[in-house]
Amino acid sequence: MDSWTLLLDGFATALQPQYLMWAFIGVFIGTAVGVLPGIGPAMTVALLLPLTYTLDATAAIITFAGIYYGGMYGGSTTSILLNTPGESASIVTAIEGNKMAKLGRGAAALATAAIGSFVAGTIATIGLTLLAPILADFAVSLGPADKLALIVVAFITVGALMGRSVSRGVLSLAIGLFIGLIGTDNLSGQQRYTLGMPVLGEGISVVLVAVGLFAVGETLYVAAKLRQGGVDVIPVTKGWRNWMTKDDWKRSWKPWLRGTAIGFPIGTIPAGGADVATFLSYAAERKLSKRKDEFGRGAIEGVAGPEAANNAAAAGVLVPLLTLGLPTTATAAIILFAFQSYGIQPGPQLFTNQPALVWALVASLYLGNLILIVLNLPLVGMWVKLLQIPRPYLYAGILMFAAFGAYAIRFSIADVVILLVIGVLGYFMRRYGIPVAPLVVGMILGPMGEAELRKALQLSQGDPSTLIMQPFAAAAYGVLVVLVLGALWLRRRQTRYEQHLTETIAVPITADQEV
Amino acid sequence: MSARLIGARGQAIGASGRAEETRPAPRVPVGELVFALLMLVLGALALIGAFSIHIPVGIQVGPTVFPIAVSVLLIATAAAVVVGVLRGDRGEPDDGEDIDSSARTDWLTLAKIVGALIAHLLLIEAIGWAPAAAVLFGIVAWTLGAKRWWLGFVIGLVVALAVQVVFGGLLGLSLPWGPAFAWLGGMF
């Protein structure tokens, strides 16, 4: 019960007016940026990194927790109300949510998404509170070889399972590992791949890579094929107080709970992030529903379940991030970097060394969830206005903030040049279907992996068998094989399922391009 | 109306489950192949570069071990992608809210945006951060089809000044003010 006392202390910190304000600002900005079309959670977090340059560690991390939850949720408003949904984690929401909005039930769709996210987020945060200390206790005993095994697990699952092609995913990972090598080697002080340029001596900042890939690369990609014509937002009517009817509640609460039960465990294991969870939840709801004929025509269960799964997975992702220092999504990798820039290394020691900070963070997750629902239900009119921002100004603004984030790292023009180069790389990766998330994960985890590898080999006097002979490491590699095989199987099912869906109900995205 | 279109579209959706491109894809995906080959070259250069890293004496596991492993991985995966592409396995381009996936790539727009970023980075130190950011914002907005070309520059300048006042003035990041706004910088 020790962790409950610590959690109460955390609440005492997080409820202090200035931290409460930062949590509020984080959720607000995270939602605002997340709602903007074309901006997914990873880009939200990357673009907002400069916000924290000037804050103290606790304030920065609380702000980031808010940005993370806000950004994760913001996408659902976009996919329900905009006729052209994009971001993968909420694309399932779009199938039913968009149809509901077109039938004039957009308010109910938004409400079930918001309340479902709150319920799921809260339950999943309780899960995090219970699970994280146990996992951290266990992880303290891990040696360098074991930690390396965990990092390899993250590499392979993220590389092989994000995107649709294993070779392209791992290629992206390898590029990220290479970028992570550039700079001065910490252990020996040798320059690597710096081409003798002092600018590269400190290495390439993760901010540049994240912002370059997500903001600049994405903007270039959109600009090359920008959809012309007006922005088509479905209007929402009725006051927010009577959004959901009694029947809507009755149909929503079970999907919320099931979505949570599916999302949280999937978030905690490195299985490709939230979109797998949303898909599984959608499939489950469709199977269990007594009104199967409504699916594809605006079934509320198809919004409630996947949205709950999405937010539960977002909380689940924080479990390996905080306890093992393992990011399993690009967004988590950028958050890991935000921690590192304050000299805080997430991982098993975090819970023993920085208990006040960790528990303040966990407490602010509970508060963030509450703020999220308070902001989203009544203020939806404002978010709708954001959807209508003319695209030329929207993307000009994204590029301006990207350039700001790059320049503000150390006020060097060279950083803006690197940003541009990485942006162009990101453009071509998108164009040729190479996922960008593994690159970010590889770049951030690569140096950590190298350090553990060298420590392990140093301890064993250069005998490489130590890497797989440790019981935990061996088990981790075993689990890895099972995970990859299982996930590849799941993905085949997902592809088939989506095909089936496209054939039976013809997703609105493709249909509307013709109109 | 739309229901009929969906039906018609439903038939156009191929076995891949995605709407087929309206424009026939070129038989050899040159760009994709070039990209993968470039990554292969990068891997090869990285491998050569790894051997030129100086190894200090008395270190069991030197600074070259990991670079060699990464180079090999880079070469292997790039080669796998090349082979895959040659055997007909094409990458699936990303989708997005604002993307018209049937449109042709507009290279001129891309060049203008890259040009705007280059102009921005060349101008920062000469005319100050906010004006240089306004140039970036204005060119990009104009390129992407803003209705009044000057409005982009005005909005850009207002937003950039707001950013510079908040981050530069109030939070203490030292963005250069430039000659035009030196008086504003003097107020903080």
Give, in order, the Cα–Cα distances in Å from A436 to each of A76, A232, A483. 22, 29, 21
CB-closest option in A171, A450, A502 to B66:
A450
Cβ contacts of A282 within 8 Å, gap of 6 or more = A92, A95, A302, A305, A306
Task: Give the closest-approach CA distance of B150 to chain A in angstroms.
Answer: 12
Please tell me the predicted confidence (pLDDT) of residue A242: 62
Average the pLDDT over A230-246 and give the result: 69
DSSP 8-state code for residue A242: G
Average of pLDDT values for B114-137?
Answer: 94
At residue B150, does pLDDT exceed 70?
yes
Chain A residues touching B102 at Cβ < 8 A: 513
Q: Is residue B157 part of a domain?
A: yes
Task: Give yes or no for residue B2 having a pLDDT over 60.
Answer: no
What pLDDT is attached to residue B27?
A: 63
User: Per-residue confidence at B9, pLDDT binned at 50, 70, 90?
Assistant: very low
CB contact under 8 A, B133 and A404: yes
| Chain B partners within 8 Å of A43 (Cβ) | none
Task: Please indicate, yes or no, whether residues B78 and B136 belong to a single structural domain of this protein.
Answer: no
Domain count, chain B: 2
Q: Is residue B146 part of a domain?
A: yes
Per-residue pLDDT of A36-56, as tens digits, reads 877 878 888 888 887 777 788
CB contact under 8 A, A188 and B19: no
pLDDT tens digits for A479-494? 888 878 887 787 777 7
Residue B99 lies in a domain: no
Between residues B181 and B9, the one the model is more confident about: B181
pLDDT digits (tens, 9 = 90+) for A123-160: 999 999 999 888 888 888 888 888 888 888 888 888 87
Could you tell me what percent of chain B has a pLDDT over 90? Answer: 45
**What's the whole-model pTM score?**
0.85
Identify whether B92 is part of a domain.
no
Confidence grade of residue A179 (pLDDT, cut at 50, 70, 90): very high
Q: Give the pLDDT score at A494.
A: 72
- Among B56, B86, B116, the domain boundary falls at B86
Per-window interface: A 356-395 vs B, CB < 8 A: 390-393, 395
Q: Give the range of the structural domain holding residue A93, as residue numbers without chain letter.
A: 2-514
Helix, strand or coil, per DSSP, at residue A48: coil
What does the pLDDT average to over A164-186?
91
Task: Lowest mean pLDDT of A192-201, A306-315, B12-21, B154-163, name the range.
Answer: B12-21
Overall average pLDDT of the A262-271 stretch: 83
Could B106 and A175 be called an inter-chain contact, meaning their C-beta atoms sit closer than 8 Å? no
At residue A212 the predicted structure's pLDDT band, cuts being 50, 70 and 90, is very high
pLDDT above 50: residue A70: yes
Contact list, A388 vs chain B (CB under 8 Å): none
Q: With bands split at pLDDT 50, 70 and 90, how would you rate the model's confidence at B94? A: confident
Question: Per-residue pLDDT averaged across B110-129, rounded?
Answer: 94
Query: Domain of B150?
Result: 107-185
Q: Which of A37, A392, A407 sits opposite B97 (nearest CB)?
A: A37
A 52-111 residues with CB below 8 A of B? Answer: 53-54, 78, 82, 84-87
Is the pLDDT at B17 greater than 80? The verdict is no
pLDDT in tens, A426-485: 999 999 989 888 999 899 889 989 988 988 888 888 788 888 888 888 888 888 888 788
Q: Name the percent of chain A lying above pLDDT 90.
A: 22
Do B98 and A510 lie within an 8 Å CB cutoff?
Answer: no
| Domain count within chain A | 1
Picking from B97, B99, B112, B129 by the largest number of A CB atoms within 10 A of its own CB, the best residue to mutate is B97
Same domain, B111 and B81: no
In angstroms, the CA A84 to CA A222 distance is 13
- Indicate whether B79 belongs to any domain: yes
Please report the pLDDT score of residue A83 as a whole number.
Answer: 60
Q: Where are the alpha helices (DSSP H) in A325-462?
A: 330-340, 348-353, 355-376, 380-387, 391-410, 413-431, 437-459
Q: Do residues A371 and A24 touch, judged by C-beta distance below 8 A?
A: yes
Condensed to tens digits (0 to 9), the pLDDT of residues A287-324 reads 888 877 888 788 888 889 988 998 999 899 999 899 98
> How high is the pLDDT of residue A91?
67
List Cβ neighbours of A88 (8 Å cut-off, separation of 6 or more): A40, A275
Q: Give the residue from chain A lying closest to B5, CA to CA.
A: A511
- Taking the CA atoms of residue A39, residue A44, residue A47 and residue A52 in that order, the dihedral angle to the nearest 10 degrees is 170
Interface of B with A in 113-142 (CB under 8 A): 113-114, 116-118, 120-122, 124-125, 129, 133, 136-138, 140-142
ipTM: 0.84
Pairwise CB contact (< 8 Å): A396 & B137: yes
Residues B159 and B111 reside in one and the same domain:
yes
* Rounded Cα–Cα distance for residues A398 and B181 (Å): 23
Spell out a b/e string for A355-369, using b for 16 or more CB atoms within 10 Å of the CB, else e.
Answer: bebbbbbbbbbbbbb
Contact call for residues B63 and A185 (beta carbons, < 8 A): yes
For chain A, the average pLDDT equals 84
Binary contact (A458, B60; C-beta < 8 A): yes
Q: Please check whether residue B95 lies inside any domain of the structure.
A: no
Predicted pLDDT of residue A419: 95
Q: What residues of chain B lie within 8 A of the CB of A506, using their CB?
A: 6-7, 9-10, 13
Span B40-92, pLDDT tens digits: 999 999 999 888 888 877 666 778 889 999 999 999 999 999 999 998 888 87
The CA distance from A310 to A83, in Å, is 20
What is the overall mean pLDDT for chain B? 81
Q: Within this chain, do residues B23 and B73 fall inside the same structural domain, yes or no?
A: yes
Q: What was the pLDDT predicted at B112? A: 95
Whether B80 and B120 share a structural domain: no
Question: B178 touching A, CB under 8 A?
Answer: no
Query: What would the pLDDT profile of A344-400 be if each residue is shown by its tens digit?
Result: 888 888 888 888 888 999 999 999 999 988 888 788 778 888 888 888 999 999 999
Interface test with B, best of A178, A207, A389, A448 (most B CBs within 10 A): A178
Across A109-115, average pLDDT:
88
